[in-house]
Structure 1
């Protein structure tokens, strides 16, 4: 693995189990129990991109490991809530196109490796992403592929974050996902901490959930000189708001409504269904 020696962290007997297990994930590609509240954890420095990419591929952990200037940091874990949220969003999104004609359908590319630099083979992985089938035209290949096979960049990227901070997600959005000739929209679902395990008087869990939508086109329409992107839409959909006030949305789903899309055909996602799935994975406690 690689040619340059790397420094591995968390090898002393004083390190707690979460840190030791984090290092094992990097060294042995074995995912042991890690407390989400302990993240982020730096597990190595002085690592080449070649070594990082090889280990991330074998551990299937690119979405959960950050690589920056030779430093490897675990920023997220493949928990049931994290993975279930991404799958549920993907299912609901694809259901909206179930009756679409073949040429108007959308492909779910999942956590596809998206190359941000084809020459150096550097890539990032979202939790899931989608691409209109119309973009896959062999007669008109894309000028800006996301891989070595010439696949066009997905137009929509979805990121789910629990221990990963919104600041880190925004760095990926501004540095990678919404760079020119890449994705058009990024949906971020942030899962608030569940460390205190608070409940209301009816026993319902009090947990903050946040959904943010970033749109390159809408941002540039408002400010053609924009170089960074802020959310064009933000929805708090958990059972508690930022200020600690209980939310109403957790009590029942909203009735179906006709979406007001930015472009045809438009897709409306009921976040109540995603909220209930997250609460289910949290368990009885």
Structure 2
């Protein structure tokens, strides 16, 4: 992709506005300029390329990029252009829900690396984990609880990253794929950077954490960019687990790990181990047959082989110090 097609710099993602409403175009007085923006923004849908003339840094998200699109066409476009995570489809309408950014990618990378290191001992065993990345899930008829009412529609929700045990068995119905038989991941990660926080929260609580779906979700919220070449300062993590619910709903554990907190107070001298998320193995391996995690002992005089599952620390610790380091040291 050429330089004029690239919006992944801080300058381009700065000063982005947010709203919970879907809009067609920004408030641009000049009709010619408005039509020009529409044309260049639609190129993302039509060609998979992002042009600087589209001025995505000024877009209000979610942004309607295409209409009357069959679901199969949407899936082909996202696969062809590798757009997983940036668009969403609903009833024929394709919306841009987030924009690419180096902060977003580095944040995911820091979490992925920590989980990979912790589970290295089970690689290529039946206790291994599939890293699904930004995989589209539930390409089937699903009940998605919307903000005001419940609709039954074909949806293509995508996580920024997700993990599923390789030995988690298929299901008879309600799975995460078109056949309804693929099991859901046990851990999902969502990053809200150029994305509306409330929209992501609804996606987490009303989609991923619905019964018989995902067990744990990590939601990382990085503050909205204010000026060009500004490194994010407010970073907040929310850890959802279906085992931790109140009568009124979910009760996520919250950690602030940026350079300032939500009240504007500096967070000084943050050290490794001070802000962590603990993922219990019982949650990460939920639904896995017991004999995978605790193989039966062989008949004497045979000695039991090493159990690779025993090499995984419990809990797996996601140290937010490393996530913060990855975000603050982005080259912008």
The two structures have a TM-score, normalised by structure 1, of 0.77
Partner Cα distance (1:118, 1:151) in 2: 14
1:238 to 251, 255, 258: 258
Distance change in 2, residues 1:26/1:166 (3 Å): same
Residues 90, 154 of structure 2: 8 Å contact kept: no
SS state at 2:250 partner:
coil
1:254 aligned to 2:236? no
- Pick from 81, 87, 93: which aligns with 2:109? 87
TM-score (norm 2): 0.67
Aligned length: 259
> 1:38–1:118: structure 2 CA closer, same or farther, 3 Å change rule?
closer
Report the counterpart of residue 272 of structure 1 in structure 2. Answer: 321
Q: Could you tell me which of 142, 149, 159 is aligned with 2:171?
A: 142
Between 36-45 and 24-33, the greater mean CA deviation after superposition: 36-45
Aligned with 1:154 (options 176, 185, 189): 185
Using the alignment, how far apart are the partners of 1:182 and 1:94 within structure 2? Answer: 23
Given the alignment of the two structures, is residue 188 of structure 1 paired with residue 219 of structure 2, yes or no? Answer: yes
Residue segments in structure 2 that go unaligned for 5+ positions in a row: 1-23, 143-152, 283-313
- 2:68 and 2:25 map into 1 onto residues whose CA distance is 11
Mapped to 1, the partners of 2:272 and 2:94 lie a distance apart of: 42
1:107 and 2:130 matched: yes
Q: Write the deviation string for residues 192-248 of structure 1: whole angstroms up to 9, x where unpaired.
A: 12323698xxxxx561111111122321xx43xx6xx53421111111111111112
Question: Are the structure 2 counterparts of residues 272 and 20 from structure 1 closer, same or farther at C-alpha, using a change threshold of 3 Å?
Answer: farther
* Higher RCO structure, 1 or 2 (CA under 8 Å, sep 6+): 2
> Structure 1: any 5+ residue segments left out of the alignment?
1-7, 200-204
**Could you tell me how far apart the structure 2 residues matched to 1:65 and 1:257 are?**
31
1:156 positional shift: 0.5
State the Cα distance separating 1:116 from its structure 2 match: 5.4
Distance (Å, rounded) in 2 between the aligned partners of 1:114 and 1:160: 17
Pairs within 5 Å for 1:198-217? 207-217=233-243
Give how far 1:42 is off: 2.4
Q: 1:49 aligns with which of 63, 68, 71?
A: 71
- Contact 1:22 1:43 (8 Å CA) reproduced: yes
Give the SS at the match of 1:245: coil
SS of the residue aligned with 1:124? Answer: coil
